[in-house]
Amino acid sequence: MRNYHIWTIGCQMNQAESERLSALLDAWGLRPTNIPAEADIILLNSCVVRQSAQDRVVGKLISLKELKPKRPEALLAVTGCLVDSNTSQLHQRFPQVDFFFKPGDFDQFQAWARKHNLANGVKEIPLPSGPTCFVPIIQGCDNFCSYCIVPYRRGRQHSRPLSDILQEVSQLAAAGTKEVTLLGQNVNAYGQDLLPPTDLAELLTELNRIEGLKRIRFLTNHPRDMSPRIISAVAELDKVCEHLNLPIQAGDDDILAAMRRGYSAAEYRCLVSAIRQAIPGVSLSTDIIVGFPGESQEQFQRSYDLLQELRFDTVHVAVYSPRPGTLAARKLKDNIPSFMKKPRQQLIEKLQEHIAHEINAALVGKTVEILVEDHSRGRWYGRTRTNKLVFFEDVGQWQGLLAQVKIEKSGPWWLLGKLEANPENPQ
Ligand code: SAM
Ligand code: SF4
């Protein structure tokens, strides 16, 4: 029997695509291995959104180059955002790689795999399984934020037909999946490119009717595409969770303009306030970049102050990293040195730790509903509708069930509780 090894970094879209590639290789009769040296095919799913991610990918490729002379028959394929249209240049730079294919281009991968006798007759990619599943609904992005490489690597916005997604989620629910997370780089622009056009609100409404499905989430979003229709859908549809990802990226208007985000800090504030009014108890996560070209101390302070004012549940803070080919890398000098960027990142991380601690501490003594995903080191864990990670101890079998848990302890990134009397309690 032949083995495969998949190595993935980056966003949930990469994770989802790796899950599907893994399911396909399983269906072809290959066996997963954690040890690259034992694999007959190694698949590397790459991310180059920041230089640090790219460095890890290149490091991995160098280590795999050393493996090649020992196992010349083993195949190495690379996908993800490292792969641009100039694959001959990539082959020159990384001669150890047998095949590069664009993110999500499973047809290209299958054709190559067939040539190398990896594939059997199975052509349809088997669906993932488990209580929670990722479902990609839109590829690419048309926004071209000045710092971002995604539109250059994943291409223009391309939505999957609504009927395909409905069919897939119905199949997942029939097989026992309770929660789906709809994925895309700009998921709230879903449907704008379809003929006739549709939107995410319509898709959510249709998905909400699927029997057996309990929860629906979606990410990542662009604030400009968060329409009142989508906000109402989240507020009104019982299965759509009260958790929204709304990347702000900066709190200063000149920086936002240089980033080409298409909104001001005041417009973003209004959006948050409309969302909080329409969806009581909503939890919000955001992304922010520090050290964008020219970011002064005052401009950084505006980002900091806005985060302090809006009090997000989660903040992902990234240090600006110039990406080749993007507008910012071509036109703006990366003039904030690392010794200034890093402390800015740490200040925001510290602020957020404090805010998240306070938000989570307010849940102590309350009972929350979690969808149990799995167990680890003697504890079951799952997430609330608001995406809080909760642990509890119990000897029963809880995977895939909804549990009521009374929170006893909290930290900034987790909650710990005790099982309450549960309608779904198997005992
Ligand atoms: N589409 C979402 C949006 O509009 O904000 C986010 C998707 S983006 C691929 C994921 C995150 O990576 C961004 O929110 C941003 O914070 C970060 N990112 C993208 N390009 C970056 C860069 N050049 N330097 C630092 N962080 C970057
Ligand atoms: Fe990148 Fe998101 Fe901007 Fe698209 S909307 S270019 S994915 S940051």
Q: How confident is the model at residue 350, as a pLDDT?
A: 98
- Atom 13, ligand 1: which residue's CA is nearest? 287
Fill in the amino acid letter for 32. P
Number of H helices, E strands in the chain: 13, 18
Q: How confident is the model at residue 425, as a pLDDT?
A: 57
Q: How confident is the model at residue 68, as a pLDDT?
A: 85
Q: What is the DSSP letter of 341?
A: H
Ligand 1 atom at minimum distance from 149 CA = 20
- Atom 14, ligand 1: which residue's CA is nearest? 287
Ligand 2 center–CA 58 separation, angstroms: 23
Q: How confident is the model at residue 391, as a pLDDT?
A: 98
Ligand 2 center–CA 222 separation, angstroms: 7
Ligand 1 center–CA 216 separation, angstroms: 23
Which stretches of the chain score pLDDT less than 70?
Answer: 421-427
Where do we find the tokens 């539109």? Answer: 151
d(CA 127, CA 419): 32
d(CA 37, CA 50): 28
pLDDT in tens, 207-260: 999 999 999 999 999 999 999 999 999 999 999 999 999 999 999 999 999 999
pLDDT in tens, 139-171: 999 999 999 999 999 999 999 999 999 999 999
Asked if residue 350 lies in contact with residue 111, where contact means CB atoms within 8 angstroms, the answer is: no
Q: Concatenated DSSP letters for 39-66?
A: -SEEEEEE--SSHHHHHHHHHHHHHHHH
Q: How confident is the model at residue 124, as a pLDDT?
A: 86
Asked if residue 124 lies in contact with residue 134, where contact means CB atoms within 8 angstroms, the answer is: no
- Atom 5, ligand 2: which residue's CA is nearest? 143
Q: Which SS3 state, helix, strand or coil, does residue 103 take?
A: coil
